[in-house]
Amino acid sequence: MLSIASASAEVILIDMAMLLLTVATILIFFYGSKKIFPADFRQPQFFLTFIIVMVPLIIQFYFGLAVLNYHSVAKVFGWPTPLPLESSSPLLLSAVVFYIGQAAWLWSRWRKVA
């Protein structure tokens, strides 16, 4: 049986892995689209579509996996479960803050290219 300390370490490790996978996936798509569509990549419409469509989908996927992991660990140890998410949930706030930071960072990269 897992102890509380090892469960907490597992949650932190999985969440950090999801964060790194999110950044890596977004970067792969960002630089891949730069190589595949070099003329379109410089257009603001292409960048806005990428920021509005692709980035939130990738963030939702990986943050969803992290929340499901935390939910399963919380059920085993009797901790309060994060699901269903409420509108004032710290998890949603962290996803929004991460999205804004990722969008600003991608914008600075895109501006150098365009």
pTM of the model: 0.82
pLDDT tens column, 18-64: 889 999 999 999 999 999 999 999 899 999 999 999 999 999 999 88
Domain range for 62 is 14-113
Task: State the pLDDT confidence band at 2, using cuts at 50, 70 and 90.
Answer: low
Whether 4 is in a domain gets the answer no
Whether 7 is in a domain gets the answer no
Q: What percent of the chain has pLDDT over 90?
A: 46
pLDDT tens column, 65-104: 888 888 888 888 888 887 787 777 777 888 889 999 999 9
Q: What's the number of domains the chain is made of? A: 1
Contacts of 29 (CB under 8 A, 6+ apart): 50, 54, 58
Whether 5 is in a domain gets the answer no
The answer to whether the CB of 101 falls within 8 A of the CB of 49 is no
Count Cβ neighbours within 10 Å for each residue of 88-104 and write b for 16 or more, e otherwise. eeebeeebeebbeebbe
Whether 2 is in a domain gets the answer no
